[in-house]
Amino acid sequence: MNSFSVESITVPYRLRAIRELDLEGLPQLFPESTVHGRELADRRAWLRDVESIAWGKNPRLRLVLEETSTGRALAGFTFDRKSEAVAILRYGFRPTTAMTQIAGFVLAKEFAFTTLRLIALRTDMVQGQDPLANIHEQIGYRQAVRLREWWRDAEDNALDLITYEAVNPDWEAKHGR
């Protein structure tokens, strides 16, 4: 058997808390937030506000997908806790590859089930986002709800809103699917 050192294993990505260094890319990482302004000082104030809530009390948890070799933030993931068992996942990516996106979504799902110990993680997408839908299906999400004509695009066309859901395997083993 070949020997190896733990240090030699490279993990290209990880999830971590937001840092001051991430503030520059904040609007791309967390596009759902409308409170962080254009000025860096505004973003710093926003970060101070959202991060001052004690861990476990904050219903909205934000994590960054970091490229471990550079420390650069590639994506932002927001977990909105709906209950002890369920969270809604939202995200923002800097321009990146599909593989990086997949890695991010896989890590987010693992974090939801192993660290947060959630039963279900949900994410919404609008009809026509086929590449994103394919990624989610590849990593174990399924279409849970499809609301016909629930969303409006910029031209006021009515589009379906689709909720994808990943269910904790432990829960599925106990309760079935």
Partner 1 sequence: MADKGYQPEMFGEGIWLRPLEPRDALAIAQSTEIVEDSAQPVPNVPTSETAYRNWVAAQDESSLVWVVCRTDEQEAIGTASIRNIEMGTRTAETGMGLFYPEDRGKGIGQEVKALVLDFAFEVMGLHCVRCTIDARNTRSRRSVEKSGYVLAGSYTADIPVGLGEYADTLVYQLLASDWRAAKLG
Size of the site for partner 1 (CB under 8 A): 23
Compare residues 54 and 154 and give the one whose CB is closer to partner 1. Answer: 154
Amino acid at 73: A
Q: Which of 28, 58, 129, 163 binds partner 1 (CB under 8 A)?
A: 163
Question: Smallest gap, in angstroms, from Cβ of residue 152 to partner 1?
Answer: 5
Distances (CA, A) of 85 to 68, 105, 117, 144: 30, 19, 7, 16
Question: Smallest gap, in angstroms, from Cβ of residue 58 to partner 1?
Answer: 17
**Which of these ranges, 73-81, 90-98, 105-113, 150-158, lies near partner 1 under the rule CB under 8 A?**
150-158
By CB under 8 A, is residue 80 in contact with partner 1? no
By CB under 8 A, is residue 170 in contact with partner 1? no
Ranges within 34-73 binding partner 1 (CB under 8 A): none
Whole-number Å distance between alpha carbons of 143 and 137 = 8
Q: Report the interhelical angle of 98-110 vs 130-138 (nearest 10°).
A: 50
By CB under 8 A, is residue 148 in contact with partner 1? yes
By CB under 8 A, is residue 167 in contact with partner 1? yes
Q: Beta strands 120-126 and 86-93: pairing type?
A: parallel
By CB under 8 A, is residue 93 in contact with partner 1? no
Compare residues 96 and 163 and give the one whose CB is closer to partner 1. Answer: 163
Q: Beta strands 142-152 and 158-167: pairing type?
A: antiparallel
**Which of these ranges, 33-41, 50-58, 106-114, 145-153, lies near partner 1 under the rule CB under 8 A?**
145-153
What residues make contact with partner 1 under the rule CB under 8 A? 82-86, 119-120, 122, 143-152, 158, 163, 165, 167, 171
